[in-house]
Structure 1
Amino acid sequence: MTSHDPLPSVDPRTALVLFSGGQDSTVCLAWALARFARVETLGFDYGQRHRIELDCRQTVRRELTAQFPAWADRLGEDHMLDLSLLGQISDTALTSERAIELQANGLPNTFVPGRNLLFLTFAATLAYRRGASVLVGGMCETDYSGYPDCRDNTLKALQVALSLGLDSPMTLDTPLMFLTKAQTWALSDQLGGARLNELIVEHTHTCYLGDRGRRHAWGYGCGECPSCQLRAQGHAAWVAAQGQGV
């Protein structure tokens, strides 16, 4: 099978993708579109400092369907939830104008406590109503900032809790969980080739500071925040691996 061949079969279930407008969630959206018969997207407005990512969401959705017609019929509705309360009770560098730094507990102050737990709980509630039984998120515990709610064990436990609490099986798929950022670039290349990676570079947003004034080989961003650094390092490693024929 080549990188652009269709998968041999399509999962008939409906998947709900947690879609922020960033690189990782866009790769997850493409991954879901390649696998599931129907895919819907969900975004959260929680007062994030880099709220510009929400402005990218519809552009990314539009470009995906325009450039990959085979996915267009599978992409269903988009949903946006107002979780501004989370921003109100969080004192973090993602929800207020403050310097990004490490805290005494070893976590960066970009960690928003309970964010992914709340996101997935609300997503499961929406999925239940929409007839979706798969939640797809871009959480990763390989190249990441150390957030405890991105870890595989956390999400496995949450999958059990959600399925029990809803009395309905709910699958949490995290296709990036054990991938490096370089491998994430390789995955998007496998899913959609140079077109998808160019779409990601040009239209997604991941920078914590919301900087879209500077375009790098890996996309727009300040180039200095932890998110930009991870993205840049991963892109450089992926380009190097390509040059070595890996």
Structure 2
Amino acid sequence: MSVVTLVSGGLDSTLVTYLAKEEGLLIHPLFVNYGQRALERELRACKRAMTKLSLNNLEIANLAGYGALIRSGLTDPSQHIIEDAFTPGRNMLFLLVASAHAFKVGADAVSIGLLHEETALFPDQTSGFLREAESLIGRIMGRQIRVLAPLASFHKDEVIALARMKGIEGTYSCHMGDEEPCGNCIACNEFKIEEA
């Protein structure tokens, strides 16, 4: 089986790609530039992780105009990183682009690093969203492309523990994009909650 893995340089998507490699899947990693504030650091971390996995086929979808149009705390420094974090349609955009890429490279599935539904803050982080997205993708692509969320039964503390066990390091998960993680955005707060 072959899979397009959505990779961001963060812990969750990096772990998803490690797991796919361990399963012996043919991996097509895809990084989406959606105009995020943390683009530079995310992409750098992503490239390091893919190099460590000997995946030299990383593709980058340049969709920076999305963040310029759909402004949020993740794309616009003038907005609040937490209160304005919801970026409408972001995960659907990711899955649509990944599925179109899967169609072109002949992959069977796309993979996204969403965690347990109990951790969902937004409507596009739920199992219902994933089921409906898979159905819609099959309709618009004219063939089934599975939508996988290998970490959907995991909470962040379990992801952190598994990543440590696998020796994963050097990821970047802060939405601000500064050299040192801000400690306040949603991504940083996930680590705080799970360590408490």
Same fold at TM > 0.5 = yes
Question: RMSD of the alignment, in Å?
Answer: 1.7
Q: How many residues align?
A: 193
- The one-letter code sitting in structure 2 at the alignment partner of 1:54 is L
- The one-letter code sitting in structure 2 at the alignment partner of 1:222 is C
Question: Scaled by the length of structure 1, what TM-score is found?
Answer: 0.73
Matched, 1:227 2:187: yes
Question: Scaled by the length of structure 2, what TM-score is found?
Answer: 0.91
Runs of 4+ in 1 over 6 A off after TM superposition: none
User: C-alpha separation between the residues in 2 aligned to 1:88 and 1:225?
Assistant: 20
Give the unaligned 5+ runs of structure 1: 1-12, 66-74, 103-108, 214-220, 238-246
| CA displacement at 1:158 relative to structure 2 | 0.8
How do residues 5-20 of structure 1 correspond to structure 2 at under 5 angstroms?
A: 13-20=1-8
- Identity %, equivalent residues: 27
Instruction: Name the structure 1 match of 2:89.
Output: 114
- Residue from 46, 57, 66 that aligns with 1:57: 46
Instruction: Name the structure 1 match of 2:66.
Output: 86
How do residues 1-246 of structure 1 correspond to structure 2 at under 5 angstroms?
A: 13-51=1-39, 52-65=41-54, 75=55, 77-97=57-77, 98-102=79-83, 109-140=84-115, 141-144=117-120, 146-189=121-164, 192=166, 195-196=167-168, 199=169, 203-213=170-180, 221-234=181-194, 236=195
User: C-alpha separation between the residues in 2 aligned to 1:39 and 1:76?
Assistant: 10
Give the unaligned 5+ runs of structure 2: none
- Larger RCO (alpha carbons 8 Å, 6+ apart): 2
| CA displacement at 1:23 relative to structure 2 | 0.8
